[in-house]
Structure 1
């Protein structure tokens, strides 16, 4: 499966179909988590990560609810020296570690099985692609882990939930820098009544 970021910079997921040509630029990812690599929210997050790293440099990166570790591995591939992925699921951490080994991205990359409450260091760049209710629960802890002028990219919420997310983030002293959206279609109307998912990029001020 060829999964291009919206910027078109790289193929992110290694091909598994026989007619697809392999690429050295591809990340080889075994999938795990609520939002798979092919999900629109993953693409939105990666687009914002690449956009941010094109204009700013960071020395640390945190992938909250890392799942398969895809965001952490993108950060490591881009050269961020300290990358941490954290997840409550032991299986997610195991798969993330295996994906790091497959891609030879282990230097400076650490995987933690636990909650972000167990972390004590600050991060310049934090990414979380989580369900709306989980984002609300973890937002305060994520902001506490952000460096001043640090970047936060979040997704996993839909357009109908955006106003609530924005209000919560602004209440935490975060400034919206960019929002993006995309549709993920189903065979029928989803329970939420909308096909549109969103991601947003904030700075701690």
Structure 2
């Protein structure tokens, strides 16, 4: 089977930092000087929480930083308090355990190059960062659920492995079940020419259109209630963050919606559903490019091997 079964790893550079690039003078400065909290410790905490494939308890976080970066407990705890106060991370509670996670009320880092944020929060992006602004609402897809983050990573992966899609005339994406519109907005900001988002819920369509306006992509994005059967394609990329039965039933239809080499990003899959879903897409002439997990959920990127039929 194509693709790796392992969970998402730290991006290039993060893992090597933890293991190999501990700078003793910086660690000592963070331990001895309170201002070091704002630099060294807070950045490491933010990176570790942002890129971890599983939820981290406060004890997990402190143990990792103490053993790998030699930051003292008092520095770690102060940094955590400040990050919580700033709205960048938050406590969550599940099954009697406390966890530290990125806050959806602040800047939410999806990957090295993709960031979500509320419209009212200022954020200065780096030279290669794409920022999607999302207004709070009831529509699914604000980044707080692992399946949304996986779908976004899959879209970024699809565009990265096929850089010819960026700015190519006619390179459009179809987003099935667009919710907040985050997937199609991210796709066009990452370089696709345009996108269509299908949504049957009228409230979600309204919120998606508002988010499209916030990100100034009205001329490149369409939100519609027309069903998948009414879409002709072919599309350079199709995304669907849905549940397993629907994703499986769409496999053959996905083959007709994408051209040769076209990508399909799926998310919302549990581990015990993954092999069945992958086999369904392989039988529909797709190959697996990428698979990743986040907090027990899985996503995948497939490529069309034969073209639309």
Q: Taking structure 2 as the reference length, what is the TM-score of the superposition?
A: 0.57
Name which of 125, 144, 147 aligns with 1:38. Answer: 144
Secondary structure, in 3 states, of the residue corresponding to 1:66? coil
**Which gives a bigger RCO, structure 1 or 2 (Cα 8 Å, sep 6+)?**
1
Offset of residue 140 of structure 1: 2.4
Name which of 1, 4, 8 aligns with 2:112. Answer: 8
Residue pair 1:116, 1:142 contacting (<8 A) in 2 also: no
Alignment of 1:116 with 2:216, yes or no, is: no
Long gaps (5+) in structure 1? 184-195
**Aligned alpha-carbon RMSD (Å):** 1.8
**Rg larger for:** 2
What residue is the counterpart of 2:297 in the other structure?
197
Offset of residue 98 of structure 1: 0.9
Offset of residue 35 of structure 1: 5.2
Map 1:1-205 → 2, pairs under 5 A:
1=105, 2-5=107-110, 7-14=111-118, 22-23=122-123, 25=125, 26-30=131-135, 31-34=137-140, 36-56=142-162, 57-58=164-165, 59-183=171-295, 196-205=296-305
Count of aligned positions: 188
Offset of residue 27 of structure 1: 2.0
Long gaps (5+) in structure 2? 1-104, 126-130, 166-170
2:142 and 2:251 map into 1 onto residues whose CA distance is 22
Q: What do the CA deviations read for 1:13-32 (whole angstroms, capped 9, x no partner)?
A: 2277xxxx521553221344
Residue pair 2:139, 2:203 contacting (<8 A) in 1 also: no
Residue pair 2:268, 2:297 contacting (<8 A) in 1 also: yes
Offset of residue 66 of structure 1: 0.4
